[in-house]
């Protein structure tokens, strides 16, 4: 990567870092509870439902702050990679990460293919996907000698009534069900 590109990305990362630090400060400020507004000195004896909105906002801000802190660590790692000459080089395959990816995601440390492989290996995909794949998980009896009515049979019975004219929209037929 050329020096002018590295300077561009360094500046972009530093600007992003300043913005992340401001947002983290804002989340800290938003999570301060001012009891002077309320009629009570403390809300410790209240049921959580009585202060549900405040509880929700605080927990939401804490989660958002955690995301900002994680992104800040990625920025610091990218800045360190610029200093060590490793910026824009894939940690997986060692090839240069395409400039389009670096422009869209300046903190990228892997090319798209290696990132996909890493997500599979580390399990960094959303936890919901574990229960969605394989389809019908616990109730798929196709590979066994069991002939019981299973989840796939249920889907097939229900899907009969939900056929679409546009096969591109018929997810099940296009992905899992072998048309006979």
As a whole number, mean pLDDT of residues 108-119 equals: 88
Is 94 in contact with 114 (CB distance < 8 Å)? no
As a whole number, mean pLDDT of residues 161-167 equals: 64
- Structural domains in the chain (count): 3
114 is in which domain, residue-wise? 88-125
Say whether both 2 and 77 belong to one domain: yes
Residue 79 lies in a domain: yes
Say whether both 14 and 37 belong to one domain: yes
Coil, helix or strand at residue 145: coil
Q: Read off the pLDDT band of 64 (50, 70, 90).
A: confident
Note the pLDDT tens digit of each residue in 68-103: 899 999 999 999 999 999 999 999 999 999 999 999
Say whether both 100 and 169 belong to one domain: no
Say whether both 64 and 120 belong to one domain: no
Say whether both 83 and 1 belong to one domain: yes
Q: Give the alpha-carbon dihedral of 108, 112, 116, 118, to 10 degrees.
A: -40
Residue 180 lies in a domain: no
Give the C-alpha separation, 152 to 178, whole Å: 12
Residue 57 lies in a domain: yes
């Amino acid at each position: 990567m050329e020096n002018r590109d590295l300077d561009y990305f360094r500046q972009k990362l530093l600007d992003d870092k300043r913005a992340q630090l401001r947002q983290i400060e804002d989340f800290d400020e938003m999570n301060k509870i001012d009891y002077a507004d309320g009629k009570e000195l403390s809300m410790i004896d209240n049921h959580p439902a009585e202060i549900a909105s405040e509880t929700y906002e605080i927990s939401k801000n804490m989660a958002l702050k955690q995301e900002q802190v994680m992104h800040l660590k990625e920025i610091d790692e990218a800045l360190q990679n610029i200093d060590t000459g490793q910026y824009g080089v894939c940690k997986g395959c060692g090839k240069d990460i395409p400039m389009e990816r670096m422009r869209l995601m300046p903190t990228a440390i892997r090319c798209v293919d290696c990132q996909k492989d890493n997500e599979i290996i580390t399990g960094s995909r959303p936890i919901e996907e574990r229960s969605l794949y394989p389809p019908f998980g616990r109730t798929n009896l196709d590979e066994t000698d069991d002939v019981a009515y299973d989840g796939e049979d249920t889907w097939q019975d229900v899907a009969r009534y939900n056929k679409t004219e546009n096969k591109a929209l018929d997810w099940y037929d296009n992905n899992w069900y072998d048309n006979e």
